[in-house]
Copies of this chain bind each other. A is one copy, B any other.
Amino acid sequence: MNRVAVVGFGSTQFTRSDAPRIDYLLLDAATDLCNNMPSLSRSEIEAVLVSTNDDSKYLASILSELAGISPRVSQSIESMCGSGTSAIVTGVSYIAAGLADTVLVAGADSVDGPGRILDWDVSRGQFAHPVFWASLFTKSYKHKFNIADEELAAVPAKNHRNAAKNPRACSTVKPAIRDVLESRVITGDLRLFDCSRPCTGSSALILASEQMARELTDRPVWITGVGQKTTSAGFTKNRDLTKIDSTIQAGREAFAMASRSPEEVDVVELHDAFSVFEPLALEGLGLAPAGGGARMSASLYENEDNSVNPRGGLIGAGHPLGTTGVAQAGEIFLQIRGNAGKRQVKDASVGIVHNVSAAATSSTVLVMES
A→B interface (CB under 8 Å):
1-2, 23, 48, 53, 55-58, 60-62, 64-65, 70-80, 83, 86, 89-90, 92-99, 114-115, 118-120, 226-234, 237, 250, 253, 357-358, 361-362
Cβ of A230 and Cβ of B64 under 8 Å apart? yes
User: Given that A55-B114, A61-B358, A65-B232 are known contacts, is A79 also in contact with B74, CB under 8 Å in the complex?
Assistant: yes
Q: Kindly report which residue of chain B lies nearest to residue A99, judged by CB atoms.
A: B93
User: Given that A61-B233, A96-B98 are known contacts, is A76 also in contact with B74, CB under 8 Å in the complex?
Assistant: no
13 CB contacts below 8 A, A to B, read: A1-B98, A57-B118, A58-B79, A61-B233, A61-B357, A61-B358, A65-B233, A65-B237, A71-B229, A72-B230, A78-B78, A93-B94, A96-B97
Cβ of B75 and Cβ of A76 under 8 Å apart? no
Cβ of A57 and Cβ of B53 under 8 Å apart? yes
Residue from B60, B96, B362 in contact with A79 in the complex, judged by beta carbons closer than 8 Å = B60
The 5 closest A-B pairs by CB, nearest first: A96-B97, A65-B233, A61-B233, A93-B97, A93-B93
> Which chain B positions have C-beta within 8 A of A65?
232-234, 237
Q: Indicate the member of A57, A72, A234, A358 with the most B CB atoms within 10 Å.
A: A57
Task: State the copy count for this chain.
Answer: 2
Q: In whole angstroms, what is the CA distance A77 to B233 when docked? A: 17
Q: Indicate the member of A48, A74, A230, A234 with the most B CB atoms within 10 Å.
A: A230
Q: In whole angstroms, what is the CA distance A2 to B86 when docked? A: 22
> Which chain B positions have C-beta within 8 A of A118?
57-58
Q: Kindly report which residue of chain B lies nearest to residue A120, judged by CB atoms.
A: B62
Cβ of B74 and Cβ of A230 under 8 Å apart? yes
Cβ of B114 and Cβ of A72 under 8 Å apart? no
Cβ of A58 and Cβ of B233 under 8 Å apart? yes
Q: In whole angstroms, what is the CA distance A70 to B250 when docked? A: 13
> Which chain B positions have C-beta within 8 A of A99?
1, 89, 92-93, 96, 226
> Which chain B positions have C-beta within 8 A of A358?
58, 61
Cβ of A77 and Cβ of B80 under 8 Å apart? no
Residue from B61, B75, B97, B114 in contact with A97 in the complex, judged by beta carbons closer than 8 Å = B97
Q: Kindly report which residue of chain B lies nearest to residue A2, judged by CB atoms.
A: B97
Q: In whole angstroms, what is the CA distance A249 to B250 when docked? A: 38
Minimum distance in angstroms from A156 CB to a CB of chain B: 26
Cβ of A74 and Cβ of B362 under 8 Å apart? yes
Cβ of A78 and Cβ of B57 under 8 Å apart? yes
> Which chain B positions have C-beta within 8 A of A357?
58, 61
Q: In whole angstroms, what is the CA distance A24 to B155 when docked? A: 40
Residue from B1, B48, B115, B226 in contact with A57 in the complex, judged by beta carbons closer than 8 Å = B115
Cβ of B97 and Cβ of A64 under 8 Å apart? no
Q: In whole angstroms, what is the CA distance A95 to B74 when docked? A: 19
